[in-house]
Structure 1
C-alpha cells in the first residue's frame, strides 16, 4: 500500500491533517505527520532530516506520496529526497496537491490498493468537489474526484447485453465484483443511450447506466491487469452476467394467472402474481418504525464520519447474517440478492456525497447518509426500464438500515398474529426477516413481480400478489381473506363456495408438499427396490446445514472456488483445512462428501497466478490443467483435503479431465500429498476414493477405459451439454441447442453409467439436470446411482424416485434415446 507523508511548518497542523486523513481512509493506511523544527517546543519551520525519517517510517515498495504546505516545506522535502538511497528515491513522489484535501483523497485512494500514480492523481483533483459546490467555473473542466482520468495505455472493448432484464442488481453486482478483482482502472459507458462513463467498480454507477436487453456497453481499462479484466468481463458477458437465460417472472409460465371459481367477482382485488400458492386467513398489518434522520450541523466532522463508518460496518454484519439465513431457508442463489446491498455500503456514489455533506457542509452522519441514499434512489427511478426502476427500493432499504443503526432504532417488523400480510410495499430485508410460521401470504399495494421482495417470497414458498392498489390498505385488521398467488388476486370476506374451492386446492397442495418434507430423511428407493442416493451441492457451511435439514444423504459436489477467488494471495493449507472441515463436520460421519478440486480458469482468474489471456478460456488452461502445471500450489489443497479425509468420509473429484494421463497425474499428486502429510506426523486415511467429473465428451466416450481406474464418475450435465453441442448456454443465439435433454447428451450419460456398472463402480449427476423433476425418472432409467442438487429440491426428488418403477423407467429412457429432439424427449416423459 502507498504510504503518505504530510509536511507542514506546524507540527500540530501536520498531525491534525494526518488524523483527518486516517479518519477518511482508515487506520490501516500508513500516514506520517512531520512539522516544525527539530528543537524543543517544535517551533514553526521544516526539517529535512525529520522528513527523511517520516518517509522511511511509511516506506513500502508501492511508494510514498509526500504532501507539503508551502515555501521551505517543499525545499526541505527535496533535500530529504536527495538523502535517500537511489532505489528508494525512485519510489517517492513530491506532490503539489492541496495539503488537507489532497491528504484525504490520497488516503482514500491508497486504501483501495491503488498505484502511486493513481493516488497522486486523486490527490491533485481533490479540490474539485469544493470548486463545484461553490460554483467556480473551472471545476467544470476537471474530472470529478470519484472518476479520475485513466492513466497509461487504455484498452477498449464493446459488449452486447443479452440479459432479458439487462444489467439489473445482481448482474451489475457481478460486473462490479469482477472488475474489482483486478489492478486496473475500468470505465463503462452505455453506448446505446450515451450514459456514462462511470467507474466499473461502482454498483450504483453501473446499475444507473440503465442498460437494458440489446444495449451495447463500452468498457475501457488501463493498468497492469487491463487485458485480464477485459477478458474476465467478456466472459462474464458471454455467461449473461451470471443470469439464467429465462423470461422475467412477470411473464413466466409458473406465474401466469389461472382464474379459479368466481375470480371475476368485483369484490376481488386484482393485482399481479408474484409468488404462486394459496393462503387463507385474516388480514394482518405489519408495523415498522418510520425512519427519518433529523438534520443538524456538527462541530466534529471526523467524529460523524467515524459514526457513519461504524454504522456501515454493523449494517454489513446484519445483512450478511440475513443473507446466511435466507441461504438456509431458501438457497444460495436467492441469498445472492443481498450481494448488491453489501456493495451499496462500499459504493463511492453513496459514500462520496455523504463524505462531502459531513466534511464540507458539516452535516450530521444520519442526515448525510440519508440524503445520499435518496439521491441514488432517485437516479434509479429516472431509468426507463421497469425492472431497474424497482432497484430504487433496494437502495432505500440499505439507506434506511444504516440510518436506523445511527439513530438506534430497531427495524424488526411486528404482526398481531398469523394471517395474510398486507402492506404498501416490502423491502427485501423486511421479506427476509418475516416469520413464515405467522405469515401465510403477502399482499401489497405497490411493487412488481420482478422486485427482490417477490423473488424472496417465491424462494421462501410464500404466496404473494403485488400491485393490488390502495384499496388493499383500506382492509380492516382481521378481515377474512383468500390470497391467490397464481392469479395475483385477493378476495376479502369470501363467500362459502369460494372458500371451499380454495380450501380444497390449498389442502391438496399442502398435503403433497408435507408428504415430501416429512419423508425427506427417508431413503429414495423405487417401488421395485432400486436405491438412489440423493445428495446436495454445497459451497459453504450454511449450504451444508441446509443440506442436512433437507434430507441429503451426502454431498455430491463441494465447490472449493469460494476460498480462492476475490483475494490477492492463495489460501494456505490450514485455512483450507479449517474451511473444508467446518462444512464436512456439519454433515457428520455418516454422510459421504465429494470435494471437487479447484475449478477456475481464464473466465475466473486468480490474481496470484499468471493465467494469461485466452481467446476461449472455456477450452483453455483451466481446472485440473492449470493445477497440474502448478503442482506445489495444487498439493496445498490436496494436503488440506487429505487431513479432513482422515476424520470424515471424504472423496476427491478432479474436474475437466479429458485423458487418462491427466487423471493419473492428478491421482499421483494426491498420493504425494498424502505421503507428505504422513511424513510430518499428521493423520491420513489408508486411501481416498478418487473420481472424475465427466464434463468433456472425451471422458464419456472413453468411460470404458476410465472405469477400471476411477472409484466413481460424477456427470456435470451443464458443461457436458455445452461441450457436446458446441453451444454456450449463456449465448442466446445458440442457447436452445444447449439443452441437457438432447439425445446426444443422454447417450453420453448412458454410456458413462453402463461403463461404471460393468466395472463395479457408481455414477452420479451433479449438474442442474439432477434437480429437475422431469429429468429425475429419465436419469434413473439411464442407470445413474446418485443425484446431487440444491437443498430445496431434495424432498421432491426423493418423492419422485419412490413413485418410480425402475424397469419401466429404464424402458422409457431407452426409448428417449431413439428420439430426435429434446422437445420430443420432454413430451414423451410428460406423457
Structure 2
C-alpha cells in the first residue's frame, strides 16, 4: 500500500464520517463501508463480521459472494475470524489456508484468495466483531496497513453500537443468588464490605475529529495535568518514601513522561481521531501487545501504561469520577479488571477494606503497594465485574484466595466468627509480642522475619521479631526499568539497616534469573528452559555477571559502614561457588579500605542450602561459613522432584515427611558439631506444627513471614523442648504411615498451641 497509515486511515475516516452522516439503513451503511475500505486499501476483499447470538455473522462484504451475507456464521474460536474474536488479537497471514484455525466456507467463494488480515472490532473492552481484508496473491500486510485497519475498526465500533447491530456486551449473568469465586492469593487478610466498581474507563462516544489541532491542544493540556497529579502522588504517598513501592511509583512516573507514548497518541490524532479515540487507539495496541507477552515483569509495565491511559482519558474527557474521586461512603471491596499502583493510592485507606481483581499477579506493582498499605487482595477472579453488582456484600479471604458475592446469612455469620477469631488471636499474639520465644523448659528460639521492603524492617517491633533473617535484595531489581545502580542500592540497604536499629539483618544477594527474569538482561542471560527454577539463576547468574555482583557488594559494604554486615549467597550447589562469591566481596572490602572509605566493623558470610548436593560437601563448606541458612521451599521440591506449584504433587510436598526431616536433622547435626549456627528460612518454619518438628530435630532459629511470628512464638512458649525432641526422634526412628497426624495428635494431647 503506497500511502502511510495516517494518510490511509484519514482517507477512510473522512469517508466513514460521510457515511454515518447520511440517512439510510444500517445495512446500506455497512455495505458502503466495506466498499470504501477496499477502495482505499486497494484490497480485493473487505468483510465485516458481527457478533450475534454468540456467533460471528458475515454482515457485509466487498469481494465475497453477496448471498453469503447473513448466512455464513462462525462460532467464537472457529476459523480465523472466530480466533480473532475469541482471543482479541490480530492475524496477518500470507497463506490463510496454512493456519491451523482455518475453516473453509464454500458459500463465500473465498477459495481464490490466499492472504488474510483481520483485526478485532472492540467496544467497551469486548470484541463485538471482526474487520478482515483478503488478496489473491500470497503476501503479508505491512504494519501501516494493519495500523489503518485497527484505526478504522475502532471508528466502526461506534457506528455498529449506535445502530444496535450486535448483541449486548458478553459476560456472565448477574445472578441474584450467592456466588463463590476462587482466585489467586495476592495479599493475605480477611475483609468484608460492599462492592464498589473502580470504573477507570471512559467509553469513547465520538471518534472522528472535526478539528485536529483542537484535539492536539486538548491532549497536551491533559498530559500536563496528568503529570502534575503523578508528581504530587509520588510526594504524598501516606506510607513514606523508602522502599520498593517508591521505586514502583518512580517507574510509573517515568511512563507518564514517556515521549514515545505521547508521540503515538499524536500520530493517531493526525489520522483523524478525536483525543479520546486516539488514546483508546494506542491503548488497544498496548492490550494487544500484553496478550503476546509472557514475561510477567514486562506485562506489569504494560499494565502501568494502561493505568496511565485510563487516567489521561478521564482528564481529557472531563470525567474524573472514579470511585476514588467520588469518595467511599461505606466499607468497600474495590472491584476492577486491574489497577495501577497510583490508582490504588487515591483511595481512602479508612474505607478501603479489600481489592478483587480480574487480573493481577504476585509480582504486580499494585500487589506490592497493597501489601505496604495492608490491604488484602485476591486476583485472577475471572468475570467478577459481571458476577457482582454495585453495592453487593462481598466477603474476601486473602488467606485462601476466596471471594463470596452476596453471601447468605449462615456463611456471613461463619465469616464474621472467623474474622473475630482472627482478631482475638492477633490480640493474644500482641500480649506476647515483647516476650521472648522461650520454651517451658527454658530453651530460647530465635524468630526472625523474611523481608523485601524497607518498611518490613520498621515493623520488627510490631511483629515481635528478633531481626531480619532474609532480606530479598532482588525485589529492587525486579521492579526497576533498568539495572539499579550502586547509589540506588546503597540508599535501600542503608534505610533497612537504620530501620532495624540494633537488630540483625541478613542480606541475601540477588536471586534473579530463572523464573524471575529481568527485561533488561541480555538474551543469552535469560533462561527459557522448561524448568527455569532449576536453571540459570541466583548465584550462578551473579558469578557470571561479576559487574552486577560487585556493584551490590560495594553498596552493601558502604551501607554497613561501622556496623555488622551479614550477607548470604543463594542456591550454592558446591563450595567453590561460595568461595568465589566470598572472594569477590573480600576484594571489594579491600578496595573500599584502599579508597579511605568506612567499612563494616565485622562481616559475616553465610550460604543458603537449597540444592541437596551441598549437603554432601558440608565438611568442606562449614569451616568457611559464619552461618548456614536452609531454604526449605526450593530444597524440598528438589529433594522430591516435585514442583511446588503443581497441585497434582501436593501430597508429595509434605514438610513433615520423614525424608525431609531426616535430611534436615543430618544437616543440623553436622553444623552443630562444627559450631556453625543454622537457620531455616521459608514457609515450613512459619507453620506452628512444622516449626515444632524442626525444634524436635534440633533447629532453634527460624526466619519467617511477619504474620507467622505470633503463632510460632505462641507454639514455642507452650512446649517442652526436651519432650518434643524425644517424641520426634522416636517417630523418625520408626516412621508412622502419617507423620503429620502423629505429630498433630501428640501436640494436641500435650496442649501445644498449633492453631
* Equivalent in the alignment of 1:299: 213
Shift of residue 377, structure 1, vs aligned partner? 8.3
User: How many residue pairs align between the two structures?
Assistant: 566
Equivalent residues of 1:279, 1:441 under 8 A apart: yes
- Say which of 41, 48, 53 aligns to 1:136: 41
- The question of 1:803 aligning with 2:715 is answered no
The superposition leaves residues 436-481 of structure 1 with CA deviations (integer Å, 9 ceiling, x where unpaired) of: 6446689x9x989999999979983599999799997689xxxxx9
- Say which of 380, 401, 404 aligns to 2:311: 401
Equivalent residues of 2:695, 2:725 under 8 A apart: yes
* Equivalent in the alignment of 2:448: 535
* Equivalent in the alignment of 1:555: 468
Equivalent residues of 2:338, 2:360 under 8 A apart: no
CA distance in 1, matches of 2:44, 2:492: 50
After superposition, the Cα gap between the structure-2 partners of 1:440 and 1:632, relative to the gap in structure 1 and judged at 3 Å, is closer
**Other structure's SS at 2:693 match:** helix
- The question of 1:598 aligning with 2:510 is answered yes
CA distance in 1, matches of 2:461, 2:101: 49
- Say which of 602, 605, 611 aligns to 1:690: 605
Deviates more, 1:577-586 or 1:563-572: 563-572
Equivalent residues of 2:335, 2:385 under 8 A apart: no
After superposition, the Cα gap between the structure-2 partners of 1:733 and 1:583, relative to the gap in structure 1 and judged at 3 Å, is same
CA distance in 2, matches of 1:360, 1:474: 42
* Equivalent in the alignment of 1:581: 494
- The question of 1:359 aligning with 2:274 is answered no
**Other structure's SS at 1:529 match:** coil
Shift of residue 672, structure 1, vs aligned partner? 2.5
TM-score w.r.t. the length of structure 2 is 0.57
Equivalent residues of 1:819, 1:825 under 8 A apart: no
**Other structure's SS at 1:553 match:** coil
* Equivalent in the alignment of 1:510: 423
**Structure 1: gaps of 5 or more residues:** 1-95, 103-130, 142-171, 173-190, 199-206, 209-267, 382-391, 476-480
Kindly report which structure 2 residues correspond to 1:332-371, keeping only aligned pairs within 5 A, or say none: 357-364=268-275, 366-370=276-280
After superposition, the Cα gap between the structure-2 partners of 1:525 and 1:460, relative to the gap in structure 1 and judged at 3 Å, is farther
After superposition, the Cα gap between the structure-2 partners of 1:350 and 1:633, relative to the gap in structure 1 and judged at 3 Å, is closer
After superposition, the Cα gap between the structure-2 partners of 1:305 and 1:829, relative to the gap in structure 1 and judged at 3 Å, is farther
**Other structure's SS at 2:469 match:** strand
Shift of residue 711, structure 1, vs aligned partner? 1.1
- Say which of 665, 670, 673 aligns to 1:755: 670
**Other structure's SS at 1:369 match:** helix
Deviates more, 1:672-681 or 1:271-280: 271-280
* Equivalent in the alignment of 1:488: 404
CA distance in 1, matches of 2:481, 2:197: 45
Q: Provide the aligned C-alpha RMSD in A.
A: 6.1
Shift of residue 654, structure 1, vs aligned partner? 1.8
CA distance in 1, matches of 2:617, 2:264: 60
**Other structure's SS at 1:657 match:** coil
Deviates more, 1:399-408 or 1:283-292: 283-292
* Equivalent in the alignment of 1:76: none
**Structure 2: gaps of 5 or more residues:** 8-35, 47-86, 88-98, 104-115, 118-125, 128-175, 292-301, 746-755
After superposition, the Cα gap between the structure-2 partners of 1:284 and 1:416, relative to the gap in structure 1 and judged at 3 Å, is farther
CA distance in 1, matches of 2:587, 2:537: 22
**Other structure's SS at 2:213 match:** coil
Equivalent residues of 1:269, 1:468 under 8 A apart: no
Equivalent residues of 2:269, 2:278 under 8 A apart: yes
**Other structure's SS at 2:274 match:** coil
Deviates more, 1:676-685 or 1:724-733: 724-733
- The question of 1:272 aligning with 2:180 is answered yes
After superposition, the Cα gap between the structure-2 partners of 1:363 and 1:641, relative to the gap in structure 1 and judged at 3 Å, is same
CA distance in 2, matches of 1:762, 1:667: 18
Equivalent residues of 1:700, 1:752 under 8 A apart: yes
Equivalent residues of 1:304, 1:358 under 8 A apart: no
CA distance in 1, matches of 2:453, 2:433: 21
The superposition leaves residues 742-801 of structure 1 with CA deviations (integer Å, 9 ceiling, x where unpaired) of: 432222222222223333332112223233344222223333233223344444333343
CA distance in 2, matches of 1:505, 1:417: 25
Shift of residue 512, structure 1, vs aligned partner? 1.3
Kindly report which structure 2 residues correspond to 1:640-719, keeping only aligned pairs within 5 A, or say none: 640-719=555-634
CA distance in 1, matches of 2:346, 2:272: 36
The superposition leaves residues 339-398 of structure 1 with CA deviations (integer Å, 9 ceiling, x where unpaired) of: 99999989999989855542211412x4532566589889999xxxxxxxxxx9999876
Equivalent residues of 2:572, 2:607 under 8 A apart: yes
* Equivalent in the alignment of 1:46: none
CA distance in 2, matches of 1:322, 1:765: 38
CA distance in 1, matches of 2:597, 2:424: 51
CA distance in 1, matches of 2:579, 2:321: 58
Shift of residue 696, structure 1, vs aligned partner? 1.8
After superposition, the Cα gap between the structure-2 partners of 1:135 and 1:316, relative to the gap in structure 1 and judged at 3 Å, is farther
* Equivalent in the alignment of 1:607: 521
CA distance in 1, matches of 2:378, 2:580: 52
Equivalent residues of 2:628, 2:677 under 8 A apart: yes
Shift of residue 136, structure 1, vs aligned partner? 1.4
* Equivalent in the alignment of 2:701: 786
CA distance in 2, matches of 1:499, 1:665: 57
After superposition, the Cα gap between the structure-2 partners of 1:460 and 1:551, relative to the gap in structure 1 and judged at 3 Å, is farther
CA distance in 1, matches of 2:498, 2:321: 35
* Equivalent in the alignment of 1:825: 739
CA distance in 1, matches of 2:576, 2:459: 37
After superposition, the Cα gap between the structure-2 partners of 1:669 and 1:138, relative to the gap in structure 1 and judged at 3 Å, is same
Equivalent residues of 1:270, 1:468 under 8 A apart: no
CA distance in 2, matches of 1:470, 1:664: 57
Equivalent residues of 1:319, 1:342 under 8 A apart: no
**Other structure's SS at 1:653 match:** strand
Kindly report which structure 2 residues correspond to 1:203-602, keeping only aligned pairs within 5 A, or say none: 270-272=178-180, 295=206, 297-300=211-214, 302-304=216-218, 306-307=220-221, 357-364=268-275, 366-370=276-280, 400-406=310-316, 407=318, 409=320, 411=322, 412=324, 421=332, 428=339, 435=348, 437-438=350-351, 460-461=375-376, 488=404, 506-517=419-430, 519-520=432-433, 522-545=435-458, 549-562=462-475, 571-587=484-500, 589-601=501-513
